[in-house]
Structure 1
Amino acid sequence: MASAIPAPLAPSTANWHWKNKTVTPWAKQWFERELTSVRVSGEGTEEVGVEHVEEVEGDVELGQRKSKLITIYDCKVVLNWSGTASDGTAVSGKLTVPEVSHEITLDGTSDFVYEWSLTTARTPAVDALFQLAKKQLPAALEAKFNAFPAAIVDTHGKDLTVSADPSRQGSPAPAASAPAPAAKSDAALKKKADGAGVAKSGGQAVNTTTLSVDAQFMASADDLFGLLSDEKRIPQWTRAPATGSPQAGSEYSMFGGGVKGKFVSLSPPKEFVQTWALSSPTWPSDHFATLTTTLDQGSDSTKVTWSLKGVPLGMEEEITRNLQGY
């Protein structure tokens, strides 16, 4: 008698069981690509950034249990940093981050630890650049670390989740219940060009585009509105200082100054609008985009849409990563 071929499990059943995927090699490449794009500037000609990722030690996995995707990682990251002092001296050193983990990034059980060393002979100008690195690089690095869980889910979630739609190979399920929006979202990235988007920066025309990200959260619109706009609550998910009162005309900063602007209007709990600029050498000086955050309350969840209008052409990939992390 021929043996019967078991019928495939229904998606709802298949996604309930524990599945696991090791993504450590991919994670190392992600750190090497993303962290070496980190660069900050001081006054005058001072500039410092990550030159090379020397070591990523640890394991990175994506698990699925009860239809939820869970990031599991604990890594030690060793970086070589370099920069140019105010007197033109080339400065270099090493930075070790002993723990980049789900517990720190998403659960907030502790703060990141940074172990710095300087290899260049010390002078006043060198010391000034060293202080700039220690003051500004952590916030820029943590913006990348905060984007890491979402990148894991976006890249590998489809390999673990069985879709009910036969035309699709799979789609990421919501991540485990963590406070950071980047890890909980099933982000659907949508990108479109303005066509006629032109802004002025320093007297120069800047051709721009609009980027949009939306995500579904198992939380009320009221709670999410406060989580995304209140300076006292923003650090719960950015793991970095934030300033600014959620009032029209009030200036704000996030990610330790990595993002800044002004609140334009607020209509709680449905929408708020901000000007938005990235503190980065690649962002045009004095140029601000406009970020509109819309919250659509459903019966058991809230859809949040971030629409950023005025992104300089050529920066779509970099700002997309920032939005996904945001």
Structure 2
Amino acid sequence: MSSMPLSTANWHWKNKNVTGWGKEWFERELATISITGDTDGQSVRVDSVTEVDGDVELGQRKSKLLTIYDCKITLQWSGKTTGGEDVSGRVVIPEVSHENTLDGHDDVVYQWELTTASSPDVLAVYQLAKKRLPAALEAKFAEFPVALIQTHGKDIQIGTPSASGTTTPATTTSATTSASAPKPTAAPTQKTAPAPAKAVNTAGVSAEASFMASADDLFSLLTDEKRIPMWTRAPAQSQPKEGAEFSLFGGGVKGKFVSLKPPTEVVQTWALQSPTWPAGHFATLTMTFTQSSDSTKLTLSLNGVPKGMEDEIRKNLEGYYIHGLKSIGLGTVL
């Protein structure tokens, strides 16, 4: 049986959770950082990574690999004064994510702590750490998504993933040059009537989660085209009014707004742009926002999912909508 073409096999949405690998990478790589001061004898180094809290995933949308991560990292650092005195401290980095390490939308924030008794020489080393360690750390953070794709891209994408997130098709053993290849003879074109749309047996799927956000904020994040890329990490088109078309995930999902009741409900037609999704078929996605005193529950109900695709679409709703919103720091409520 012939293999599935790359253009088809790599179209589907996929996610791989590699949080354990990510934690080990940060623990190993960040502990290699050391800095020498301008004054003889001064030095600073990262001793250990004591905490990596968050999620790391590699996703695929429309043949593109996307790094999805948001981690809080805590480091222990140490140094030497010009007189050989030991200095130690701690730094907490609340967010290391795709947004602030690759997109540059936000600066990386550092929360510094000195645990050695203060003196002029000790403070000089402390200032050296605060001045020089961030650049060295951010250089390592920039290496992380590259290593993530190189290590795990092959597990979710057919072909050889590169650091840029593209795919190189496998090399064939035989090739015919354009000069020697026989030119195909054009067959006469013949107009045919379009085949009638086939009836599709469907089912419904749903996903839900509660976020530490207001209903107004969640409603805006899911309908405002300027805010949607914050959690989809892809271009979007969305004019939140009845009858207007929308496009999410760089065209991976398309449809129209059926009705909007800010900030409690959005109803859309919804179609996945995939070879496995029946051509011309639309499901109906209803998003409801139920606000309580400290959070808002988002419920995604998708009716009209082709039979046999229920598990795939449910995972997509959870992975790309729910996890996408979680990845921008909203936090979920258990």
Normalization by structure 2: what TM-score?
0.48
Radius of gyration: which is bigger? 2
Normalization by structure 1: what TM-score?
0.49
